[in-house]
Structure 1
Amino acid sequence: MYDLTKDLGYDMPIRLENKYRYDFLGFDLEPGGEQGLLCGGIFALRTIKTGNASGNVLIDLIDYSNVNAFDTVIHGDCHFHLLNSDKLPQENEYKVAENIILNIVSNSTSTGFYLTLKNQKYGDLHSISSGDCKNIKPSQYKYLLFTQYHNNPINVSQVELSPIFRLQEDLVWNNDMYHDFRELHLANKSEIAGHKIEPSTPWEKVKELIDAKCREWKEKSEKKQEQLLSIVDLQTLYPFEE
């Protein structure tokens, strides 16, 4: 879980694997570039279809540009849930799949969007490393996806992602910036003239500037990945994935 964004940038399709059923969960997305409630973010839910961990669900936050329409058709087990966030609180829950329920909990100041995962097999690090989950009793787990505030508090955005998904959002952004500057490094001088670099600037100087930016964004990506892993390490139980 949380591994889809490791080297992912915008417009980089994720690789769809036959061992998973995919459910893509988006809020207020519209055609023509409207990025919706999460600024283009969608939740990718992978349900394991075979093996001892069959039925376990893995959750990641990716960008909508990371899903290729042709790939989803070829895969044959991809499902899209494009939801209207204004109507959901009236319904309290939405069934994503047999073992995945989106719960909506509202109070006077905010609305929380949670995923309830049923019949999940989780274990500690020892049981995960041994891969033995035959004797694990399936349980129900609940994840907070994000909170939507009714009135925008001071210095707080209207939508606040759960910390681990906020890190995934940041990681995709940092990865994308690194990939952009890496491509500039491989480009010729005329192709990078539009990046606020004077056409008369010597190539060696341009290369030096690009290399510095490459290093900067690579370090930022690595730091976000470390932060992501540190949060994962705080968990006491993990889903079996095989």
Structure 2
Amino acid sequence: MNLATAAQSSIGRKLISGLTGLLLVGFVIGHLTGNFLLLAGPEAFNNYAYFLEHLFHGAGLIIAEIGLIVLFLSHAWSGFQVWNNKWNARKKNYEVPGDAGGKSKKSVSSTTMLWSGVLLLAFVVWHVAQFKFGIIDTGNRAVMVDGVEMRNLYGIVVDTFAQPLWTGIYVIIMVMLGFHLWHGAWSAFQSMGLANDLYLPTITKVAHFLAIVLAVGFVALPTSIFVFSNHFKAESDKYMQQY
């Protein structure tokens, strides 16, 4: 069975959804870890961003971005197909919603996976447009550091989250991410056949813990910048004056 044939089967789609989901969880962990450099100040964060943008003369970032696009689209497509199959089966069998018990672990998180996924995908598009392409001008100019032009991404992030509207939006979306991972992280292992009755309880607990940690981490950063915006802005201004 080739990849194209497998992708058309119910099991194949679940495998794709599970595998791409786990890979995206790995990306989210790395993304949050890098974002915590915001707390180390503008120089550390901007140097980190510059390193990523110019890895292998820019080729590294391009390859990573293409890979992420493939992952996001594959996960969205396979996730929708899995949801659609379940929806059609439910209509066909006239199933009554309720606690499915056992491995299904039906919850608010599981029953809203499609909608949280759609909103998260839309958020990713906006997030990239806002911080990579600068669709909203914050007035932060590039600076010359040791003869190298460097974007003040730190200042862009700080100016964005100093505004209550953007902080509120990001907090809501990150809580939604936590809900998505609450069900998605453990069910990915189940979809790939890696969770049996012996290991599923442990996998579920670890997945729930991870969902909480990631959601809290992503909520903490914009909230901290908003609450201590004067401090973060002062750090950004000092950095700009230095160069």
Note whether the superposition's TM-score is higher than 0.5. no
- TM-score normalised per structure 1: 0.27
Q: Per residue, is there more strand in 1 or in 2?
A: 1
